Amino acid sequence: MATVVEPRPMISEEAAPNGTVSPLESLPPIDPAIILQPNDIKAVPALVGEIVSRGLTAVKGDDQARVALLESARALVRALEKPRETMIRHCWADNTAFSALALGIDTGVWVYLGADDKPKTVADIAAATKIEPALLSRLLKHVAAMGYIHETGRDEYRPSSFSKSLTIPIIGAGYQIFTGPGSTGGLGKCVSSLPAYLKSTGYKTPNSMSDGNLQFSHETKLNMFEWLHANPPTGQQFNQHMGGYAQGRPRWLDDGFYPVQERLIEGFSGETLLVDIGGSVGHDINEFATRFPDAKGRLVLQDVEAVISTITENQISPKIERTVYDFFTEQPVKGARAYYMHSILHDWPDEVSLKILANIKAAMTPGVSRLLINENVIPDVGAQWEATALDVMMATLLSSRERTRVDWIRLLEDGAGLKVTNVYTFANGVESLIEVVLPETETE
């Protein structure tokens, strides 16, 4: 089919309403020849050099070197691709592979394929999963072409480490959430509808959890958490997905991250050492109890009844007090050494976050209490893609955001009337701990 390359920039009618001329119209068009040229061929030699150099360190088990090598490899692919190839990968390859992977999770394809490392035929996989062989053949061929399983012959495949991991709920659940149960389209529908939603708002920053993109996309009045629980099993899958997200990320208790002994334990003689607000089933506070078994003071885990009631008898240390608590109400534990929140405030717009912070502030004691906020702090330059992706996702699903340092200062100091003493950031900046005190407290 013949095509005609149109050099004129693509500009929506909204950019130039009522027949007026948009400022964009006066800009010179891009030469269409760029479509068939590599994105940045001049960068290739330097990137190849980085890959060779970093590879020598990464194979020795240095994870920071591995992350740097991975970024160099991604940059090399982007530099070598032509714009036309990048576009086809985005529009055709990535999203169809995502759906094929999700289908394989739903039907047990990856369970059967990953039972051992021996090659398996499409016919055998189809018989085990009740998928029409001709359809399965097409789907697996694409998954293999994308590099997610290994093709060993005609209609014959063996698993990869990645495809095996899809059988583990904390990895596989994310695909199910974004494709969704039934005909909902899941959270993926929200992502694809974001341009239309923002157009409908005049391209304003989303700021309402009850009247945002998710509500626009799914025609509902429920917020994201309510929607997940109203469309089972997505609520459970979301919790599993968050477990997968947390795997391998640095913890604030790791050596070289936050000086726990110096800032929290030494010199403390009060009643309550640590309160984990909205701490789910206690992953973080249980880790604290394990790493600092001799620390004096109460350890308190707080969350809503629906979460606290799911904790089994031996799931967390018996030293940890489990308390039903809604952080929109008065904080019942007064004067604790540390109030800790992990990935709580990023779920809420500033207006709502200030209400949560006010309840904590009212319970803090000057010179004693610290608020520890464990979240992303997006740097002004050189942000990591995992944090920026999450930022857009928060706008898409919850009308919230990942915050920069300036955003955090504006929220915590200008808004909540607290004082940020330090921001501790680990490794490649994907995880930070913000230490906050009452303004009456001098920085130690």
The dihedral built from the CA positions of residue 245, 248, 249 and 253, taken in this order, carries a sign that is: positive
Task: Please name the residue that has the structure tokens 């021996």.
Answer: 118
Evaluate whether 276 touches 301 at the Cβ level (below 8 Å). Answer: yes
Of 116, 120, 225, nearest in space to 167 by CA:
116
> For residue 333, what is the DSSP state?
S
- Would you call 413 a catalytic residue per the annotation? no
Catalytic residue check, 375: yes
Catalytic pick from 218, 241, 342, 402? 402
Residue 386: active-site member: no
Q: Which of 218, 342, 375, 435 is catalytic?
A: 375
Cα 150 from chain centre: 28
Catalytic residue of the set 218, 342, 346, 431: 346
Q: At what angle do helices 63-80 and 44-58 cross, to 10 degrees?
A: 160
Are 197 and 191 within 8 A, CB to CB? Answer: no
3 state SS of 433: strand
Q: Which residues pair with 422 in a beta bridge?
A: 435
Q: Across the strands, what pairs with 274?
A: 299, 338
Beta bridge partners of 321: 300
Strands 298-303 and 320-324: parallel
Burial 29-62 (b: 16+ CB within 10 A, else e): eeeeeeeeeeeeeeeeeebeebbeebeeebeeee
CA distances from 286 to 118, 133, 300, 400 (A): 40, 48, 10, 28
Placement of tokens 């779920």 in the chain = 347
Helix H or strand E segment including 424: strand 419-426
Phi, psi for 428 (deg, rounded to 5): -90, 20
Q: Tell me if residue 312 falls in helix, strand or coil.
A: coil
- Please answer whether residues 411 and 354 qualify as being in contact, where contact means their C-beta atoms are separated by less than 8 angstroms: yes
- Quickly list H helices, 154-233: 161-165, 169-179, 186-200, 213-218, 224-230
β 120-121/156-158 pair status: antiparallel
Q: Is the dihedral of CA 225, 231, 234, 236 positive or negative?
A: positive
Q: How many CB atoms lie within 10 A of CB 248?
A: 7
Residues annotated as catalytic are 346, 375, 402
